[in-house]
Structure 1
Amino acid sequence: MRVLLAEDDPILGDGLRAGLRQQGFAVDWVRDGLAAEREVRSAEFAAVVLDLGLPGRDGIDILQSLRAQGCKTPVLVLTARDAIADRVAGLDTGADDYVVKPVDLHELGARLRALIRRAHGHAETVLRVGEVTLDPSTRQVRHQDTTASLSQREFDLLHALMRNAGRVLTREQLEQQMYSWGFEVESNAIEVHIHHLRKKLGSDAIITVRGVGYTMPVGGGT
């Protein structure tokens, strides 16, 4: 899952990025408000971790602008502003969660997974499509009654498809959800991962829509 981290403190930002990456998130990190707003508008993120006291533009202003323009990306405000009035303002402006620093990294990861789950209409913590189940918190995948051993990229690709079951995703959309800045993506990387997933989960678990992209049918495969 690709998330945008907007945090101007270099030490805190580096720690948050490292901690979230250890939990399987692909993290893009910006350090000012203008860059944060630009990136949310130009790229697809599963969620945003937004500091309020950003240089360039305040986080509340960014949040208000994004919501006014119809942006539905889940936003978790992570800030030192702990007054009740600040919490109320953040949530009423459109934040999906409001967390006061400092925060435990595992709690932050769990809150992000919950936001992303709700944004995709999933009430349960474990995703199920056909005979495939995926647990984002443990990064475990099971096909029928067997645990499937997946690489990190295979897991990320499967997670993206299962979150969007029934929807066709293009190769570009999948790459945007899987990779953060700085990663060189080979032109056939998605196709290779799809091939490996089909070998592990069944040939019809993932359907190719020729000329468009890939999907996992809501009814599931074998």
Structure 2
Amino acid sequence: MTAVLLAEDDEAIAAPLSRALGREGYSVTVEPTGPAALQQALEGDFDLLILDLGLPGMDGLEVCRQIRAHRTSLAVLMLTARTDEVDFVVGLDAGADDYVSKPFRLAELMARVRALLRRHGGREDTIVEVGGIRLEPAARRVLVNGSEIALANKEYELLRVLLEHAGEVVSRDTILREVWGDVELRGSKTLDMHMSWLRRKIGDEGPAVERRIATVRGVGFRINTD
């Protein structure tokens, strides 16, 4: 049975969300504080953490950072009352896989949960190596020309999708769906910001014709194989 850890201190949100998750067939554990959620996440056997940013004792960003330092495989869905895109980016860079803003529609949140669990459950451990970039999913490690680089969670997922389709054009909608689980983000700058950060970290900021990651205008991106 899929195990979900719900870190939420507002009973008016935690109770109905816990019941909805239970009806979907998930085993649910609720923790109302940051330290308790962190301990459960590190010591328990959970598939997904639904993490509120405004937890007492330790905020959700710090909980997420500490979890990512020790557990890279746990799927993390953030709940936040903040609406500024910069805040969302900070949360994603802390290691969250996705986020939902409050107030949320329960149907939307459950769809995000299912999509996130599918993405995590469907990952392969096959090492991919293209054009001097080596991705090792089991260790969640990336090497460029033999040297390991540090990528934020969404940067890693973005690179993974491109490498899995090396030599092919991957549409913006496909990337938004695979990495963020939400094609409605097409009107934001989220993808472009992360692509810029990814290019910088893999040393791919030279002339466009020399870049490993090519921009196909109006369509998406392609990682070159040579």
TM-score normalized with structure 2 length: 0.52
Deviation beyond 3 Å, 4+ runs, structure 1: none
**Structure 2 counterpart of 1:115:** 116
Deviations 1:27-46 (A, max 9, x none): 11010000000000111111
Equivalent residue, structure 2, for 1:20:
21
- Runs of 5+ in structure 1 lacking a partner? 124-222
Contact residue 53 and residue 79 of structure 2 kept, 8 A: yes
CA contact (8 A) 2:7 2:30 kept: yes
Q: Deviations over 1:12-31 (max 9, x none)?
A: 11111112112222111010
SS at match of 1:4: strand
1:57 is the counterpart of 2:42: no
Gap change, CA 1:105 and 1:122, over 3 Å in 2: farther
Change beyond 3 A, Cα 1:10–1:43: same
Q: Pick closer, same or farther for the CA change 1:45–1:70 going to 2, 3 Å.
A: closer
- Give, in angstroms, the shift of residue 113 of structure 1: 1.4
| Structure-1 separation of matches of 2:99 and 2:118 | 17
Query: Is 1:85 aligned to 2:86, yes or no?
Result: yes
Task: Map 1:135-154 onto structure 2 (within 5 A).
Answer: none
Alpha-carbon offset, residue 69 of structure 1: 2.0
| In structure 2, C-alpha distance between the alignment counterparts of 1:117 and 1:12, rounded to whole Å | 24
Q: Between the two structures, name the one with larger relative contact order (CA 8 Å, sep ≥ 6).
A: 1
Provide the secondary structure at the position in 1 that maps to 2:5. Answer: strand
Deviations 1:55-75 (A, max 9, x none): 010100011111122432000
Secondary structure of 1:5's aligned partner? strand
Identify the residue that residue 9 of structure 1 maps to in structure 2.
Answer: 10
Is the contact made by 1:91 and 1:97 (CA closer than 8 Å) also made in structure 2? yes
- Is contact 1:20-1:105 (8 Å) kept? no
CA–CA distance in structure 2, aligned partners of residues 15 and 59 of structure 1: 20
Q: Deviations over 1:69-96 (max 9, x none)?
A: 2432000001111111110100111100
Letter in 2 for 1:53: G
Amino acid in structure 2 at the alignment position of 1:46: D
Residues 179-202 of structure 1: per-residue CA shift (max 9 Å, x gap): xxxxxxxxxxxxxxxxxxxxxxxx
Aligned 8 A contact 2:50 2:79 in 1? yes
User: Is contact 2:34-2:58 (8 Å) kept?
Assistant: yes
SS of the equivalent of 2:50 reads strand
Q: Distance in 2 between matches of 1:88 and 1:63?
A: 13
Identity over aligned pairs, percent = 46
TM-score (norm 1): 0.53
1:36 aligned counterpart, secondary structure: helix
For residues 92 and 25 of structure 1, the distance between their equivalents in structure 2, rounded to whole angstroms, comes to 27
- What number of residue pairs does the alignment pair up? 123
CA distance in 2 between counterparts of 1:85 and 1:40 reads: 26
Amino acid of the structure 1 residue aligned with 2:66: S
Which structure 2 segments of 5+ residues have no match? 125-226
2:77–2:100 contact (8 Å) kept in structure 1 = yes
CA distance in structure 1 between the aligned counterparts of 2:98 and 2:104, rounded to whole angstroms: 13
CA distance in 1: counterparts of 2:71 and 2:49, whole angstroms: 15
Residue 10 of structure 1, CA deviation: 1.2
